[in-house]
Structure 1
Amino acid sequence: MSSRNPSYTNPKPCKHLEDYKLRHGLSGYKSIQKHLKATPHGRTSVEMLNTGVPRCNSCNGFQGRLYLCLICNSVSCLDHTLLHIQSEDGHDLAVDIERAELYCCVCCDQVYDPDFDKVVMSKHNMGVPRGDKHGDESIGERLVKRRRLGLGVAEELVDLKKSKQLVSMRDRRDKSCYPLGLRGLNNLGSTCFMNSVLQALLHAPPFRNYFLSEGHNHEACRRRSGDRLCLSCDIDVVFSAMFSGDRAPYSPAHFLYSWWQHSANLASYEQQDAHEFFISVLDGIHEKEDKSRNRNRDSGDCQCIAHRVFSGLLRSDVTCMTCGSTSTTYDPCVDISVDLDTSNFSPTDIVNKRSKPNENSSISTLLGCLDLFTRQEKLGSEQKLFCETCQEMRDSVKQMSIRRLPLVLCLHIKRFEHSPVRKMSRKIDRYLQFPFSLDMTPYLSSSIVRNRFGNRIFSVEGDESDIITDFEIFAVVTHSGTLESGHYVTYLRLRNRWYKCDDAWITEVDEEIVRASQCYMMFYVQKMLYQKADEDLSSLPLSPRRDAYLPIAG
């Protein structure tokens, strides 16, 4: 487990933001506040008065992202923001018109400023207007509009026309009808990796129930320990805010700072890996738990909430190819990382990166990935192991299996390849089919051992008849873009409906869009817990601890 660095301080914000505030203070923020518009959906945008549809001053375009300069109020598209700052010295900061987010035109990235966040949040506190013109639009119409603005909602695999028809057939539903806890998270500057994983954690049924039932009360914890930098406390604050009934997007700034304290090596305003963040957060929650609970930590029996929910046990069998003796080890895990199954690909397909979704030869499946994970693997000559029976180095085969399943199963797809020999990295943009209902029986140690040796040694694994192997998917974290520049989005399955969580934006989508997404992490929960989660969600009271504005520490 990584250790927290108590002397660590908040990373320096964007230099151009600092320069802007030194020159102009908060005057630009205050002048733009009157143009902010809060919708009933909990979103904030910049309303251009008396101008109709906002357009780029350079190309007159209106599609895609448009940015309003904080100095001269000129509007630029993404392509012309650089042209604007080259012609106008010091005009480095702008506001995303559609999302009301601060943007640095020099860094070409969103930036976070607690002062700007206060301005946006104060607009919500003054009351969200009713009867917004979008309130009567169907979900399909809103999706079509976002598509027209260049914010595509599906991958190429989906027949978009068919998907729009499927979505528009649904009843018109206001955001207030969405399940409790479904709330957007503001991007604090390349923090989509954090927002996507937080959405999955916030809606993992046993994890959610623990924090909402005062399993870790942040007020009592801080009174007891005096430690204001507790990751469990800060995620408890996030739970309180998300389940308070407020629909306005929430800024988890204090949680971000607390995570920076725990993972100083990852603290920056740069994009991070969502999977690495997930592991780091569970690590931080585990670290805070009472050490007396961790006596059986090596056997995977840690009783902290992170391990009680996400921890499973992997079995590794290494068999000598000469004498047949087997060495078995067990390792606890909080997720299972699997390689994309390429058995249906020819070498030519892989080299040429041909991955047409309508060709069966170019489709990987999650079940194929799990089969590959539990398949016997012959270790290379450079990986010879010492055999206790033969008393010398021997060739061997290795096979992985799952000894114990967790309550919530996280499956991580290895889409990022790193080659130390070629000194290069790349992302694998290959479509993966995954089921919404998953039976993990074929991948249990008992099944693997029985298939390999027969029933005669099945008793070695003990009685696994009480293990629950049926799982239901409830969250999918996706990644679009390249290895160097990409964006994370989470799809949540609540009450058997799918919702797209794109930072501050929450949109109901059809399941075909989810199936077409480029999944990176998938979260499954035991089927019984998934079915019970709908009942729990319907009976949850509003959190009594309303979230106050928590500025990021400096």
Structure 2
Amino acid sequence: MFFCFFFFFTFTSPSVLHLVQFGNTCYCNSVLQALYFCRPFREKVLAYKAQPRRKESLLTCLADLFNSIATQKKKVGVIPPKKFISRLRKENELFDNYMQQDAHEFLNYLLNTIADLLQEERGQERQQNGRLVQNGGGPAGPTATEGEEVHKAPQQTWVHEIFQGTLTNETRCLNCEAVSSKDEDFLDLSVDVEQNTSITHCLRGFSDTETLCSEYKYYCEQCRSKQEAQKRMRVKKLPMILALHLKRFKYMEQLHRYTKLSYRVVFPLELRLFNTSGDATNPDRMYDLVAVVVHCGSGPNRGHYITIVKSHGFWLLFDDDIVEVSPGGTCLTGSGPTLSCCSAAASMCLGSVYLDRCPCRSRLSKTHASPFHTCVLDLALPPCRAWL
């Protein structure tokens, strides 16, 4: 599930263009549609397109695709992402087939691949600058020691700036009360789901205290022996875009296969994380939901992915080459609408975030759409919850 963070301001609505499916590529189309409606990510990709031409990569193909969407004169149309799909299949054999794939796996692969490409290009630029300095031209580069430090610690890219947060894993020895902590970066959070629960409850469960005992005792450096301990995970640094992945596919030992947990999970259109550490940066950051990637079907290797995005206060449903837009829209004040998804369960959501710096923000009106597709999405008016 994703959420994104930036200051709230008006902007030109992006084009509403369909992506053609090339043999069970809805897992890819749905994620690309959601990412395109995340403004910070879209702007970085389009800025990359404007730079001097590089050899073809997954990022250059993505930049070409986003540029094709952004420069279309028509606000509604069809875009075939054939070049991007071909490159994806060429680079990773996991996607080099016509079978249904996991959207979350694709998202992780895409973000990590882009980050690796950006780091590689930055390293090549440093090497070129270093050769210029040795030849007596160009700007002064880093010293040998500085260069070694740069190579030891991978540089942050705009992928990390947008999506990366930090978790802190705290372990407290129950014998000496010593606390140890270890930080771990993430690009998305995967949370377990339970029946009749909510996103807030799922996130709290993510940070539940776990007792380490019996054969799982913790080795305490202070006690120099294995001791019972309590362990918990908390968010230390909130990302600009928060990606939350609901773990709906669970391996069932008795069936020897993965099954889908089609539980109804309530989540608000606004989200604040409370399971943050004491030294967390911006712990009061508020996230607004802007997109949801939904898996419709009974299992991981079958079914279909769709995307629901928010643009200019309206909710749009993207189903490959079909886009359904609200015909009118209704303005509400206060807590906002409820989205009810009956036959599909959300496996991943993308959202946009802004800092709450407007004291009258709770009185701002919210616009929501009429029903897009009665068998998939049904809009109702009870207070501020989204059932997906």
With normalisation by structure 1, the TM-score equals 0.52
The one-letter amino acid of 2:69's match is M
Query: Alpha-carbon deviation of 1:323?
Result: 2.1
Whole-Å separation in 2 of the counterparts to 1:514 and 1:302: 42
**8 Å contact 1:192–1:488 — kept in the other structure?**
yes
Higher helix residue share: 1
Whole-Å separation in 2 of the counterparts to 1:265 and 1:417: 20
Whole-Å separation in 1 of the counterparts to 2:151 and 2:207: 25
**Deviation string, structure 1 residues 401-421 (Cα, Å, up to 9, x no partner):** 111111111100000001457
Q: CA RMSD in A?
A: 2.6
Whole-Å separation in 1 of the counterparts to 2:185 and 2:209: 20
**Deviation string, structure 1 residues 295-316 (Cα, Å, up to 9, x no partner):** 78998x8422221111111111
Of 99, 115, 120, the match for 1:270: 99
Whole-Å separation in 2 of the counterparts to 1:380 and 1:426: 30
Equivalent residue, structure 2, for 1:187: 21
1:244 paired to 2:71: yes
Query: Alpha-carbon deviation of 1:433?
Result: 0.6
**8 Å contact 1:293–1:303 — kept in the other structure?**
no
| Runs of 4 or more above 6 Å deviation | 294-299
Whole-Å separation in 2 of the counterparts to 1:197 and 1:470: 23
**Unpaired runs of at least 5, structure 2:** 1-11, 124-148, 330-336, 359-388
How does 1:86-235 map onto structure 2 within 5 Å? Answer: 179-212=13-46, 214-217=47-50, 220-222=52-54, 227-228=55-56, 230-235=57-62
- What SS does structure 1 have at the residue aligned with 2:53? helix
Deviates more, 1:241-250 or 1:479-488: 241-250
Equivalent residue, structure 2, for 1:67: none
The one-letter amino acid of 2:42's match is R
Alpha-carbon distance change, 297 to 324 in structure 1, aligned in 2, over 3 angstroms: farther
Alpha-carbon distance change, 505 to 444 in structure 1, aligned in 2, over 3 angstroms: same
- What SS does structure 2 have at the residue aligned with 1:189? coil
Alpha-carbon distance change, 395 to 478 in structure 1, aligned in 2, over 3 angstroms: same
Query: Alpha-carbon deviation of 1:524?
Result: 2.4
Equivalent residue, structure 2, for 1:321: 174
- What SS does structure 2 have at the residue aligned with 1:445? strand
Alpha-carbon distance change, 328 to 216 in structure 1, aligned in 2, over 3 angstroms: farther
**8 Å contact 1:341–1:372 — kept in the other structure?**
no
Of 282, 296, 311, the match for 2:111: 282
Query: Alpha-carbon deviation of 1:265?
Result: 3.1
Larger Rg: 1
Equivalent residue, structure 1, for 2:221: 388
Query: Alpha-carbon deviation of 1:385?
Result: 2.5
Query: Alpha-carbon deviation of 1:396?
Result: 2.1
- What SS does structure 1 have at the residue aligned with 2:204? helix
Alpha-carbon distance change, 380 to 488 in structure 1, aligned in 2, over 3 angstroms: farther
Equivalent residue, structure 1, for 2:250: 417
Equivalent residue, structure 1, for 2:8: none
Whole-Å separation in 2 of the counterparts to 1:380 and 1:293: 46
With normalisation by structure 2, the TM-score equals 0.73
Alpha-carbon distance change, 433 to 396 in structure 1, aligned in 2, over 3 angstroms: same
Equivalent residue, structure 1, for 2:187: 334
Q: Which has the higher contact order (CA 8 A, sep 6+)?
A: 2
Higher strand residue share: 2
Query: Alpha-carbon deviation of 1:211?
Result: 2.4
Whole-Å separation in 2 of the counterparts to 1:277 and 1:298: 28
How does 1:152-551 map onto structure 2 within 5 Å? Answer: 179-212=13-46, 214-217=47-50, 220-222=52-54, 227-228=55-56, 230-245=57-72, 246=74, 247-291=76-120, 302-342=155-195, 363-379=196-212, 381-419=214-252, 423-440=256-273, 442-446=274-278, 461=279, 464=281, 466=282, 469-483=285-299, 484-509=301-326, 512-513=338-339, 518-528=345-355
**Unpaired runs of at least 5, structure 1:** 1-177, 343-362, 447-460, 532-554
**8 Å contact 1:374–1:399 — kept in the other structure?**
yes
Alpha-carbon distance change, 393 to 422 in structure 1, aligned in 2, over 3 angstroms: farther
Whole-Å separation in 2 of the counterparts to 1:379 and 1:244: 56
Query: Alpha-carbon deviation of 1:393?
Result: 1.8
Query: Alpha-carbon deviation of 1:394?
Result: 2.1
Percent identical among aligned pairs is 27
Alpha-carbon distance change, 325 to 407 in structure 1, aligned in 2, over 3 angstroms: same
Equivalent residue, structure 1, for 2:132: none
**8 Å contact 1:433–1:515 — kept in the other structure?**
no
